């Protein structure tokens, strides 16, 4: 059985003391109420708070993820943060290819492939994001778009590498908009992605791959989305900035 993941993407929000407070509340809630045993909770704060977060999460049932990583190994790349640096901070996960990074930072498939490979080489689990624009869905091209995003990047991995990553299906039209994919739309795409993996690698690899849903997932709609057979949890943006909402989402998994 696949363990579910609830991952909070804090994006570029909060100052240091706000981040400290929110993480303390999330950890306290998990300590007090215990999260479901088959759920992994991951918090992805801004990079400058990663050291704080890995310190606070040490020994707790919370894992820490980065929101991005450099596509370069090391060297003269001012402002970049390498996979080796994340590893040295004991970061467990890293988001790769979030639609905001594809849109505002023009991340290419080559860069995304390099990021995934570097993360895997440093023992960090990539959460690889894919998802179509609204126009793609309206033109009935959503399957083709997602298939290309995956085929041009993570399908370059060898089978044993692929088995270590997590996929997040995030329809771009649902991110931060309050418009969620219906549970049926999410299930249809997740099953499609799983079928692609089975065809490329094996049925076993497809069955063990965790595929998260992201896009305006909140405390009210999470349970129905997560009840779908191929939805293995969520990548949560806005609703992860509120400890009470995030706790409810964790308990919906
Ligand atoms: C995200 O940032 O990955 C996300 C899904 O955001 P939101 O939940 O706010 O739509």
Tell me the pLDDT of the chain (253 aa) as tens digits: 899 999 999 999 999 999 999 999 999 999 888 778 899 999 999 999 999 999 999 999 999 999 999 999 999 999 999 999 999 999 999 999 999 999 999 999 999 999 999 999 999 999 999 999 999 999 999 999 999 999 999 999 999 999 999 999 999 999 999 999 999 999 999 999 999 999 999 999 999 999 999 999 999 999 999 999 999 999 999 999 999 999 999 999 9
pLDDT of residue 119: 98
Can 156 be counted among the known catalytic residues? no
Evaluated on CA atoms 99, 171, 54, 1, the torsion sign reads: negative
pLDDT of residue 35: 78
Question: What is the domain-level CATH number for residue 199?
Answer: 3.20.20.70
d(CA 194, CA 209): 8
d(CA 209, CA 189): 14
Ligand 1 pocket, Cβ-based, cut-off 6 angstroms: 9, 11, 98, 170, 175-176, 214-217, 235-239
Of 46, 98, 129, 216, the one to substitute when testing ligand 1's pocket (max ligand atoms within 8 A of C-beta) is 216
Note whether 98 and 106 are within 8 A (CB).
no
pLDDT of residue 21: 98
Count of domains for the chain: 1
pLDDT of residue 37: 85
Nearest to 13 by CA among 179, 242, 218, 213: 242
Q: pTM of the prediction? A: 0.97
How many whole angstroms from 178 Cα to the centroid of ligand 1? 9
Alpha carbon nearest to ligand 1 atom 4, residue: 237
Of 8, 11, 99, the one to substitute when testing ligand 1's pocket (max ligand atoms within 8 A of C-beta) is 11
pLDDT of residue 36: 80
How many whole angstroms from 14 Cα to the centroid of ligand 1? 16
Can 98 be counted among the known catalytic residues? yes
Domain span at residue 187 reads 4-252
């Amino acid at each position: 059985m696949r363990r579910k993941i609830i991952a909070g993407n804090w994006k570029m929000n909060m100052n240091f003391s706000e981040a400290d407070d929110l993480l303390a509340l999330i950890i306290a809630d998990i300590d007090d109420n215990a999260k479901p045993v088959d759920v992994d909770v991951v918090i992805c704060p801004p990079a400058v708070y990663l050291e704080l977060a890995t310190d606070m999460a040490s020994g707790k049932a919370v894992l820490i993820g980065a929101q991005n990583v450099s596509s370069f190994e090391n060297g003269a790349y001012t402002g970049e943060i390498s996979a080796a640096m994340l590893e040295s901070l004991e970061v467990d996960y890293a988001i790769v290819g979030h639609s905001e990074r594809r849109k505002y930072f023009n991340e290419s498939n080559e860069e995304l492939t390099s990021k995934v490979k570097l993360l895997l080489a440093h023992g960090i689990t990539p959460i690889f994001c894919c998802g179509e624009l609204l126009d793609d869905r309206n033109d009935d091209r959503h399957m083709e778009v997602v298939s290309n995003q995956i085929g041009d990047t993570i399908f370059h991995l060898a089978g044993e590498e692929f088995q270590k990553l997590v996929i997040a299906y995030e329809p771009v039209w649902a991110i931060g908009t309050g418009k969620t994919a219906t549970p049926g739309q999410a299930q249809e795409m997740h099953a499609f992605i799983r079928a692609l993996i089975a065809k490329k690698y094996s049925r076993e690899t497809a069955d063990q791959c965790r595929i998260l849903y992201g896009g305006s997932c909140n405390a009210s709609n999470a349970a129905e989305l997560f009840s779908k057979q191929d939805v293995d949890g969520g990548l949560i943006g806005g609703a992860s900035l509120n400890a009470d909402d995030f706790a409810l989402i964790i308990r919906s998994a």
